[in-house]
């Protein structure tokens, strides 16, 4: 795993040699440049059934939600009642029972267990 660290003339590429070993299990092309990605629990989105994982993508001018199904198929969720997809996501994550999304326009907090 590699990371860009520092900035300017003091910046470098750092190689992590310890920790978890990553294996590429899924690779896909997306038509828009992706700024950041977060993995979320499928329980936060009631319209998704039998998904192994949800991926929240931060794009240049909006966000996108992708569901990874049991068969390994990746499907974009067009509408969601729990997340703001019309604005770019700045940060997202799971804290306890809650999924949190921070966009340029709002903060969404969803109870990810009691859906």
Closest to 111 measured CA to CA, from 15, 48, 44: 44
110/9 Cα distance (integer angstroms): 42
Q: How many domains in the chain?
A: 1
Within a domain: residue 13?
no
Q: Is residue 82 part of a domain?
A: yes
Per-residue pLDDT, 92: 92
Q: Which helix (H) or strand (E) segment is 15 a member of?
A: strand 12-15
CATH label of the domain that carries residue 49: 2.40.10
Q: Give the range of the structural domain holding residue 84, as residue numbers without chain letter.
A: 27-111
- CA proximity to 39, closest of 89, 1, 93: 93
User: Is residue 18 a part of any domain in this protein?
Assistant: no
35 vs 20: CA distance, rounded Å: 23
Per-residue pLDDT, 5: 66
- Residue 114 confidence class, pLDDT cut points 50, 70, 90: low
Whether residue 15 is contained in a domain is answered as: no
pLDDT per residue as tens digits for the range 17-58: 655 565 656 667 778 888 888 888 777 776 666 666 888 999
| 55 domain-assigned | yes
């Amino acid at each position: 795993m590699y990371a860009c660290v520092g900035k300017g003339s003091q910046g470098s590429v750092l190689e992590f040699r310890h920790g978890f070993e990553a294996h590429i299990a899924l690779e896909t092309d997306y038509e828009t440049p992706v700024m950041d990605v977060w993995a979320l629990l499928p329980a936060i989105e009631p319209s998704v059934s039998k998904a192994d994982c949800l991926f929240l993508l931060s794009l240049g001018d909006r966000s996108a939600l992708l569901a990874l199904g049991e068969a390994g198929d990746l499907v974009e969720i067009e509408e969601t009642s729990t997340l703001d997809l019309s604005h770019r996501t700045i940060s997202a994550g799971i804290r306890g029972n809650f999924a949190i999304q921070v966009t340029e326009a709002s903060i969404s907090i969803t109870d990810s267990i009691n859906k």
